[in-house]
Amino acid sequence: MITISSNLSKVISQVTAVREEVPRAVTRALSPAKWMERAREVAEKTLFVVARPDEFDFVREFARAVTASVWQGGGLLLRLKSPRPELRQVLQQAQAARAASDGSSAEPLLFQKTVLEFEDLILQWVQTPEAEGGKRRDARDEGKTDEEIAQLISYIMLSPNVGETGLRARSALLPHLVAFLQQREQARVGMTPERIDEWLRMVLAAWREMVRAEITARIRAELKAKKFP
C-alpha cells in the first residue's frame, strides 16, 4: 500500500502568517524613532563633505534640524528644512506676530523676537545710504529721525489695519525692501538660498542611498524578532 502525505496545509498556513506579518514588520521597521539618529548622522557627514570651511559652523545647526515622523499612517517622513528661514518667511511671521499681539502686555515675549528682528532690518535699511541700497530720502522724511521713519515703515508693513492708502504704500515699499534685505541675507543667514537648496538636495540624495541600503535588513530584523525565519 502506498501512503501519500502532504505538508501543503502547513506550508499554506505558514505563508499566510508571513503575509500577514510582513506589513506589520514594515511599519515597525519604518518607525521614525528608529531612523532619526541615523538620518542626522548622514545629514551631518554629507554636509561636512560639501561644506566650505567658512560654512562648517552651520553644519551641526542643519543636522539638528532633521525631523522624522510618520507619513500617511505607516510610512516614514524624513525632513530637513533650513533652520534659517528666508526673509519673506520672517516678514510673514512678523505680520502674523503683530496681528496676534493686540498690544497688551499678556505674552509679549512670545511674538516680540520675530517682530523686533524685522523692525531692526527696516531700521538698517533706513540708516543705509541710498548708494548702498538704503532708503531714498524724500520730503516726507524731513524733520524725522531714522527711528521715526523706520517705525512708520514697520507700521505700514506689519499692521493688519492699514487701509487702502497703507496697502498701496506697502506695495511700493516692498520691492525696495526685498532688494535691500536680499543683499543682507547672506550676511545675516550666512548662506544664500541657492546654497541652502544645494545642501538640502545633497542630504536628500544621501538619505535615498541610506534607506535603500538599510530598509531590507531592518524589515528582516523585525520579522526575525517575531520568530519568522
19 vs 52, which CB is nearer to another protein?
52
25 vs 210, which CB is nearer to another protein?
210
Q: Is 73 left (phi over 0), alpha (psi -120 to 50) or beta?
A: left
- Minimum CB separation of residue 57 from another protein in Å reads 14
- Minimum CB separation of residue 194 from another protein in Å reads 7
Give me 183's grid cell.
543683499
- Minimum CB separation of residue 183 from another protein in Å reads 19
Which class for 216: exposed (0-12), middle (13-18), buried (19 or more C-beta within 10 A)?
Answer: exposed
45 vs 88, which CB is nearer to another protein?
45
- Burial of 154-172, coded b for 16+ CB within 10 Å and e otherwise, reads bebbbeeeeeeeeeebbee
Give me 141's grid cell.
522724511
140 vs 212, which CB is nearer to another protein?
212
| Residues that bind another protein in the complex, under the rule CB under 8 A | 38, 41-42, 45-46, 48-50, 52-53, 194-195, 198, 201-202, 205-206, 209-210, 212-214, 217, 221
User: How many angstroms separate the CA atoms of 79 and 164, rounded?
Assistant: 40
34 vs 176, which CB is nearer to another protein?
34
- Minimum CB separation of residue 39 from another protein in Å reads 11
Phi, psi at 80, each rounded to 5°: -135, 115
- Minimum CB separation of residue 84 from another protein in Å reads 19
